[in-house]
Amino acid sequence: MIPSLLHSKVVNPQSSIQYFLLFLFFSVCGFAQQITSTVDSSQIKIGSQFHLIIKASVNAKDKVVFPNAKNFGALEVLESYPIDTIQNNSQYELIKKYGLTQFDSGRYVIPRLLVKINQKEFRTDSLSIIVNNVKVDTTKQQMYDIKDIIATEKEPSSEWWKLFVLLVLVVASGFASYFIIKRLQKNSEQKEEFFASPIEKAISYLQNLDKKQLVQRGDVKEYYSEMTDIARTYIEESIAIPAMESTSSELMEALKKAISEQKMFVNREELDKFRQVLENADLVKFAKSKPLQFEIEKDKSIVDKFILIIDKALPRKEEEAETLFAEEVRRKEMKKQQFRRTAISVGIAVVLFVISIGIFMFTFGLDYLKENYWGYSTKELLEKEWIASEYGLPAIVIETPKVLKRNNDEKIQNNLPENVKAINRFAYGSITDDFSLLLLTTAFKDTTALDVEVALENNLKELERLGAKNIIMKTADFENVKGLSGKKSYGTFSVFNDELDEDQKMSYEIVVIAQAGGAQEFFLIYKEEDEHAKQIIEKIQNSIELRKAK
């Protein structure tokens, strides 16, 4: 009726003022119908909780403020739940739920509550609730006198921040101790650095020469100068000839003489190669010659090999052998001390880390660590105090060891089929955990009933999307202890576990419950042959209670 009147007004306008007033009137009337309120029970027992549900149909840019008070009339607000959002094309339905109760019997009225939409005020309908007495048979139940009040110590105020500061200090102390010990160790090593023999010193310096990357920076002259100085120093210290003050030709003559006098076996070819390196070095230093990369590497290789040949050819005296042995013993002792210092520093860091973990567990609790880092075993989940919660639309009530978290896929929400009003996903855990649960609830715009067989086939595709492969499926009828019936598929599959870096064998059960106007689908996944997980699944399935779709 309203659209036809409005259409006729546009086609046959009387005046701009009349049109504006009529449009404003119908807009306000239509908007006022966007606020609805209902209760899930009109009668309760004293102290029992019932739910008040306020729904607002708005646009994406509308700002909605729901009531926020400790009492609605004479009824006490026990809990104010988070706002649920359901998208319907360009419109959004905001659902706000409150848990209410009353501890005296009688008839109570929930007053008309104020809801603001874009700073405009709207009122909900007033609703009546009857609170009934709980009958107590004193002939069968023994009564006791009221006990006296026992004085207790006042609970101290929370000091979690002090523990947090202590934790930070402990961790910081651990890192500081580790780095200080490492620094002292490094300084000690620098002070105690020594070489057991001239050959060890020469080899160490030649290795460090490559680390300086002089050739890469284009400083070839400096490279050849240091390389030949290392070789000259070794020859001077091991053979006792004035190698540093000699020219290249003088050095070669003195070296040949010393080899002959000390009866050292050195191949003439190796001497010629070393002489060529000295001449190349002179050309680089004085004639500004620039050898190629492969020539530099060849000269370095000749020097490395030559000093080893000289060292092997040197005659060893008994005193020198004893000195070398003593130096070797000292070097091994230094390595032991270095190992002890490293072990102490690592030990301090580990001890402080363990203390930090202990303080963290004492501050936040073991449950916090398991919830956020370690995870629960199926045995722990089974023995925990379970929680009964209501999920989705149409609403379904189940008991679980942990509350399921809403996990909607935006792509799905933005591309719903025409006859689907809303699809909601709720999950706990992941497909590779010891136990995981995924709940899908679907609400239709009409009395459409879900095709269960098609749903089970689509659910297998959902498993594949989550990473499952090699899926084995069997089907059967489902019915729990409360008489709720449906269809289920079950079997096994394998999935790649990133942490284990291998495939992991899993079992699953998928339960589909369909009714006119809505459906619920459960994915229950667990490690194969886990008896505790099987008990969890049975307990969850038997707890399912269905609220009819509206």
**Could you give the CA distance from residue 455 to residue 461 in angstroms, rounded to a whole number?**
10
The one-letter amino acid code at 453 reads E
413, 532: one domain:
yes
**Could you give the CA distance from residue 424 to residue 413 in angstroms, rounded to a whole number?**
8
290, 404: one domain:
no
The tally of CA atoms less than 13 A away on the side-chain side of residue 191 is: 6
311 lies in a domain?
yes
250, 123: one domain:
no
Cα→Cα distances 38→10, 97, 110, 112, 189, Å: 37, 10, 10, 12, 80
398, 516: one domain:
yes
Of 156-160, 295-299, 435-439, 498-502, the poorest mean pLDDT is in 156-160
**3-state SS string for 469-536:** EEEEEEEEEEECCCCCEEEEEEEEEEEEECCCCEEEEEEEEEEEEEECCEEEEEEEEEECCCHHHHHH
The pLDDT tens digits of the residues spanning 240-266 come to 888 888 888 888 998 888 888 888 888
Mean pLDDT over 458-462 rounds to: 86
**Cis previous bond, 394, omega within 30:** yes
Task: Give the chain's domain count.
Answer: 3
**Parallel, antiparallel, or unpaired for β 127-132 and 43-45?**
parallel
The pLDDT tens digits of the residues spanning 369-411 come to 555 555 567 888 888 888 888 888 778 889 998 888 888 777 7
pLDDT, mean over the chain = 79
Element (H, E) at 436: strand 435-444
% pLDDT > 90, the chain: 19
Name the phi and psi angles at 155, rounded to 5. -65, 125
Of 199-213, 353-367, 414-428, the poorest mean pLDDT is in 353-367
114, 261: one domain:
no
The pLDDT tens digits of the residues spanning 10-20 come to 344 444 444 44
38 lies in a domain?
yes
Neighbours of 455 (CB within 10 A): 20
- Quote helix, strand, coil % in the chain, to nearest 5: 45, 25, 30
The pLDDT tens digits of the residues spanning 36-56 come to 999 998 899 888 899 999 999
507 lies in a domain?
yes
Cα angle at 425 between 423 and 426, to 5 degrees?
145
| CATH number assigned to the domain comprising residue 126 | 2.60.40.10
Domain range for 55: 34-132
Q: Give the residues across from 233 on adjacent strands.
A: none
- What global pTM score does this model have? 0.39
Classify residue 489 by burial, with Cβ atoms within 10 Å: 0-12, 13-18, 19+. buried
156 lies in a domain?
no
How many residues would you count in the chain? 550
191 lies in a domain?
no
249 lies in a domain?
yes
6 lies in a domain?
no
Mean pLDDT over 94-114 rounds to: 90
Q: What pLDDT sits at residue 13?
A: 42
369 lies in a domain?
no
Pick from 327, 334, 330, 319: nearest CA to 199: 327
The tally of CA atoms less than 13 A away on the side-chain side of residue 541 is: 24
Of 353-362, 432-441, 532-541, the poorest mean pLDDT is in 353-362
Domain end: 76, 110, 132, which one?
132
| Residues sharing a CB contact under 8 Å with residue 217, sequence separation 6 or more, in sequence order | none
118, 202: one domain:
no
